[in-house]
Structure 1
Amino acid sequence: MVAPLAVDIDGTLSRADRSIDGRVLDALREWDAPVVVATGKALPYPVALCQFAGVEERVIAENGGVAYVDDELFYLGDDGAADGFRESLANADFDAGWGDADLVNRWRETELAVRRDRPLAAVRELASEHDLSVVDTGFAYHVKAAEPSKGAALRTVADELGVEPGEFAAVGDSANDVELLEVAGESYAVANADEHAKAAADVVLEASHGDGFLAAVDRIRDGA
């Protein structure tokens, strides 16, 4: 039997332009063990990806702030944590950067994502006023409470699935994947990963993005 699989989306399942390669959806669907999609995105995005891939909806969203498994929703972060930051941002010289509709944050419940062309020092200063941390995922600055993480959420999901977190193999690319890679028993960073993810992973792959993910699943199968 292969290991249960925990995998990030952006930068890991995606191409460099953030589109999804159909081959990774096939790999997820064909995986003969539980698959958990773990992302910084809001909950609807990984749920939709699971539906389109044809796998059970087992997801970690908002960098561990929310998890969904076996028709049960877990709030692992404070659903009001970013409210004060959001109010302060309304009075700042910049906004979150996603336009009036703000589809990035519309369904986000435990954190707020700020576009990376906004001033990081100012984002951090505002966040610190509300005792919040800022995680740079390479796609956005995520303003959140310090405690929730993908790794902590994986422990919750694993318990619901009746397996140990160390039984998982994990694949990621960014600083917000560090705890996930550390909690999993087997961990891989794709070649485009940042220095934090590479340092946390057992193996740094030669291939990038979705190609790196496919290389990881081949290695996981070979070790089964």
Structure 2
Amino acid sequence: MYKLIAIDIDDTLINDDKEVTPATQEALEAAVAKGVVVTLATGRAYASAQAIARQTGLNVPIITYQGSLVKNLIDEKVLYERYVPQDAVHKVFEYCIEHNLHLQTYVDDKLYSREENQKLIDYATLNKTQYYIEPDWKKLAEIKTPKLLIIDDPDFLDELAPKLRELLGDAVHITKSKPHFLEIMHREGTKGLALEFLADYFGCDVSETIAVGDSWNDHEMLETAGLGVAMGNAIPALKEIANYITASNNEDGVKQVIDKFIL
């Protein structure tokens, strides 16, 4: 019997129109009614994720910033928090400025960048997020952040990731949430560790959890969960490690998982 299900948001819970379908919404409610903890696990900022969580009627702690922040929806109490080490933040800013890369950071759940450009505008539009400009990068680098995000061409980012790992060492966790998004967190900022934390918080074993996702940033939680589920539209590497592959995000894949394994 599964007691907790953690669901990624983009390209997993929501379809390509960025909506939770009525059928999936009903399945979420049925799972909650059965006493199962239904939570979200996303790379998004809390502000962006909580809007979707509240829309679906959830009132539990949710996993945000890839696992760097677990925060309760009801009273907004922070349960788990990890910041990118300050030394790493400085190095990433310096690297991105030297190589003219687009870098954005999150301060108090607000999105910041050094300059306004099309990458920032497109990202903010996609996530319905407001953004702020702070040209003085040293000011930004001094403030604690749960996540840094570099936006660029997918192939370029695949080459960049190992360079940054070498530069920053094992103090950080580097992953891709989308082909053109490279994200840098504290090394304990993973969806897998956040899932372990939440299972413990709700008094269940990780073997009693389900994790559902579509991108490589979901692999830690799929490996951690008792049942790791990849969406039909997931990247091939994630499907390879999944215990089960469901329908796509446009075919109510999440509903299918809930129907099959919870209801």
Normalised-by-shorter TM-score class: 0.7 to 0.9
User: Residue deviations 1:193-214, cap 9 Å, x none?
Assistant: 1123212211112x21152112
Give the alignment partner of residue 153 of structure 2, picking from 107, 113, 117.
117
Give the alignment partner of residue 138 of structure 1, picking from 170, 175, 178.
178
Identify the residue that residue 57 of structure 1 maps to in structure 2: 60
- For structure 2, which runs of at least 5 residues remain unmatched after alignment? 104-118, 133-143
The total of aligned residue pairs comes to 219
State how far apart, in whole Å, the 1-side matches of 2:123 and 2:40 are: 25
TM-score, reference length from structure 1: 0.83
- What letter matches 1:136 in structure 2? K
State how far apart, in whole Å, the 1-side matches of 2:147 and 2:182 are: 10
Q: CA, structure 1 residues 221+180, in 2 after alignment: closer, same or farther (shift >3 Å)?
A: same
Offset at 1:105? Answer: 7.9
Q: CA, structure 1 residues 79+27, in 2 after alignment: closer, same or farther (shift >3 Å)?
A: farther
Q: Highest Rg: 1 or 2?
A: 2
Give the alignment partner of residue 40 of structure 1, picking from 25, 38, 43.
43
Judge which range, 187-196 or 132-141, deviates more.
132-141
State how far apart, in whole Å, the 2-side matches of 1:144 and 1:72 are: 17
Offset at 1:177? Answer: 0.9
The answer to whether 1:181 aligns with 2:222 is: yes
TM-score, reference length from structure 2: 0.72
Offset at 1:22? Answer: 2.9
The answer to whether 1:73 aligns with 2:113 is: no
State how far apart, in whole Å, the 2-side matches of 1:172 and 1:14 are: 11
CA RMSD of superposed structures (Å)? 2.8
Q: CA, structure 1 residues 151+122, in 2 after alignment: closer, same or farther (shift >3 Å)?
A: closer
Given that 1:192 and 1:209 are in contact with CA atoms closer than 8 Å, whether structure 2 keeps it comes out as: yes
Q: Whose helix fraction is larger, Structure 1's or Structure 2's?
A: 2
Give the alignment partner of residue 167 of structure 1, picking from 186, 205, 208.
208
Mapping 1:191-206, distance limit 5 Å: 191-205=232-246
Identify the residue that residue 85 of structure 1 maps to in structure 2: 92
Offset at 1:68? Answer: 1.6
Offset at 1:44? Answer: 1.5
Offset at 1:13? Answer: 0.9
Segments ≥4 residues shifted beyond 6 Å: none
Offset at 1:3? Answer: 2.9
